[in-house]
């Protein structure tokens, strides 16, 4: 089978142009799949409302730091160690806020900016989904 480099290049360009993480192309018995690992995504100034029994308890605004992958969230580098972040703690851009482990690979999740931790939205050892809000900073 001859590899069509032009087609692959076009698929990769489409990934970038349409901000996709994965693209698949099939024709007869040929199947091409291109993908890229996405970076941590965040929304600037979202508003999160926490409710209990239909009563508004708290509204949090700030920058959401979301999980870049599906995996298990760890709040500290090892069991019993000091947590990376806690509510009220000041952090700097690039500081690790959490580790998300997937397939025995530890993925450090960095802070996208300087700020103060408003909330930590996951428990240590909790399974997380892609795009799930892990931490909110302001």
Quick one: pLDDT at residue 82?
A: 92
* Tens-place pLDDT, residues 5-57: 787 778 778 777 877 777 777 777 667 777 765 444 444 444 444 444 555 44
3-state class of 17 per DSSP? Answer: helix
* Tens-place pLDDT, residues 50-61: 444 555 444 556
Quick one: pLDDT at residue 62?
A: 75
Quick one: pLDDT at residue 7?
A: 75
- Residue 107 counted as domain residue: yes
- Residue 41 counted as domain residue: no
**Whether residues 25 and 63 fall in one domain:** no
Quick one: pLDDT at residue 26?
A: 74
- Give me the number of domains the chain comprises: 2
**Whether residues 65 and 108 fall in one domain:** yes
For the segment 83-104, the average pLDDT, to the nearest whole number, is: 90
**Whether residues 60 and 14 fall in one domain:** no
Quick one: pLDDT at residue 29?
A: 67
Task: Describe the strand order of the beta sheet including 63-66 as a list of residue ranges.
Answer: 63-66, 133-137, 115-120, 90-91
**Whether residues 107 and 85 fall in one domain:** yes
Cβ atoms 64, 49 nearer than 8 A: no
* Tens-place pLDDT, residues 56-91: 444 556 788 888 889 999 999 888 899 999 889 999
Quick one: pLDDT at residue 51?
A: 47
**Whether residues 51 and 25 fall in one domain:** no
- Residue 79 counted as domain residue: yes
**Whether residues 28 and 55 fall in one domain:** no
Q: Whose CA is closest to 64, among 122, 123, 21?
A: 122
Distance (Å, rounded) from C-alpha 12 to C-alpha 22? Answer: 9
**Whether residues 26 and 53 fall in one domain:** no
3-state class of 19 per DSSP? Answer: coil
Domain that holds residue 23: 5-35
């Amino acid at each position: 089978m001859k590899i069509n480099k032009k087609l692959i290049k076009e698929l990769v360009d489409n990934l970038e142009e349409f901000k996709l993480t994965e693209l698949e192309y099939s024709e007869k018995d040929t199947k091409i799949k291109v993908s890229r690992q996405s970076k941590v995504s965040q929304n600037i100034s979202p508003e999160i409302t926490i409710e209990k029994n239909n009563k508004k308890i708290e509204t949090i605004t700030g920058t959401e730091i979301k999980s870049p992958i599906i995996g298990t969230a760890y709040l500290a580098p090892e069991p019993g160690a000091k947590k990376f972040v806690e509510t009220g703690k000041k952090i700097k851009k690039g500081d690790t806020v959490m580790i998300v482990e997937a397939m025995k690979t530890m993925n450090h999740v960095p802070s996208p900016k300087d700020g103060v931790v408003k909330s930590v939205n996951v428990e240590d050892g909790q399974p997380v989904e892609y795009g799930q809000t892990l931490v909110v900073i302001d």
